[in-house]
Amino acid sequence: MIIHSLLINGTMEHCWAGPIPTHSLLFSFLAVLFGTVAGYAKYREPGRAMYLGLFAEAAFASHLLLDDISEGGCEYLYPLYEKKISVFSMMDVGFRGTGIFDYLMASFVSVFFVCSIIMMALFALSKYDFELNYKAEK
């Protein structure tokens, strides 16, 4: 997308494919569908194909969250709602203006979103025998 936008528009903007925002539910569904179809083509097992689709969704969602942090919002609900929404909008609020409770809740919610995406990716990868195990050596 960046290469297309750089060649056509002369910018590094990568959130739009013509008039359609690429950071939306529509493209999220396409990422899951592509991951699932690619998984089924590779493994010929519906269960493993679904986990590859879940991993594709985790990768897409982590990209959305990083762009949300850097750009201040994305068009997450594009087919339903066309304006930008920011999951991290409360993190832009200063500590003194809101108080400690609001600031801590915003921090915990933001960290929860990032951790849930990471756990989704690790869960999908564990079905492909990729695990993070600790073995104490004696």
Q: What is the pLDDT of residues 50-73, one digit of tens each?
A: 988 888 888 888 878 777 777 777
Give the residue carrying structure tokens 């304006």: 83
Phi, psi of 16 (to 5 degrees): -135, 140
- Report which of residues 16 and 67 the model is more confident about: 67
pLDDT for position 33: 92
pLDDT tens, 76-108? 777 788 788 877 665 555 545 566 776 677 777
Q: Is the residue at 99 inside a domain?
A: yes
> What's at 84, amino acid-wise?
K
Domain presence at residue 15: no
Q: What is the CA radius of gyration of the chain?
A: 18
What percentage of the chain exceeds 90 in pLDDT? 5
Query: What are the residue ranges of helices labelled H in 44-133?
Result: 46-71, 95-98, 100-126
Measured in whole angstroms, the distance separating CA 83 from the mean position of its chain's CA atoms is: 18
| Interacting residues of 113 by C-beta distance below 8 A, sequence separation 6+ | 65, 87
Q: What is the total count of domains within the chain?
A: 1
Which two structure tokens, joined as six digits, stand for 38?
């690619």
Q: Which residue has the higher pLDDT, 123 or 104?
A: 123
Do the beta carbons of residue 106 and residue 113 sit within 8 Å? no
Q: Is residue 44 part of a domain?
A: yes
What local confidence, expressed as pLDDT, does residue 37 receive?
93
- For the segment 34-48, what is each residue's pLDDT rounded down to a tens digit? 989 998 998 898 988
Question: Domain for residue 86, yes or no?
Answer: yes
On whether residue 13 sits in a domain, the answer given is no
Residue 7: inside a domain: no
Strands 20-21 and 16-17: antiparallel
- Asked whether residue 121 is assigned to any structural domain, the reply reads yes
Name the residue range of residue 112's domain. Answer: 21-126
Rounded CA separation 29/32 (Å): 5
| Residue-level pLDDT at 112 | 84
CA 59/CA 32 separation, integer angstroms: 10
- Whether 16 has a pLDDT exceeding 60, the answer reads yes
50 lies in some domain: yes
Note the pLDDT of residue 87: 74
Q: Which one is predicted more confidently, 41 or 11?
A: 41
